[in-house]
């Protein structure tokens, strides 16, 4: 599953590779403990991954009106926050 922005402004992600990187359970736990993400119902099929979404607290914490205000991958690269080398390794 990749990052996506839904019409409701919730961003879904799971403990799957994002830009080729695994998201650790520790990071998920810390985000959840700070109410920056919450869980959504899992698919009833066996082995379905957990689904997490960002919260209103996430938007407030980063002074965002919506997830559309988040920088895209190219903007992150241009700002030097991430590099193609880090994303592809």
For the entire predicted model, the pTM comes to: 0.60
Q: What is the pLDDT of residues 13-26, one digit of tens each?
A: 444 445 556 778 88
The domains found in the chain, sorted by start residue, are 4-88 (1.10.10)
Cα 43 vs. chain centroid, distance in angstroms?
19
Q: What is the pLDDT of residues 26-63, one digit of tens each?
A: 888 899 999 999 988 888 998 887 788 889 999 999 89
Distance CA 6, CA 21 (A): 22
Distance CA 71, CA 60 (A): 16
């Amino acid at each position: 599953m990749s990052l996506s922005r839904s019409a409701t402004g919730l961003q879904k992600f799971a403990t799957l590779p994002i830009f080729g990187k695994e998201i650790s359970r520790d990071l998920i736990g810390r985000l959840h403990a700070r109410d920056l993400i919450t869980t959504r119902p899992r698919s009833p099929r066996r082995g379905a991954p957990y689904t997490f979404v960002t919260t209103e607290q996430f938007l407030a914490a980063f002074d965002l009106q919506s997830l559309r205000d988040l920088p895209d991958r190219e903007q992150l690269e241009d700002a030097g926050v991430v590099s193609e080398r880090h994303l592809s390794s």
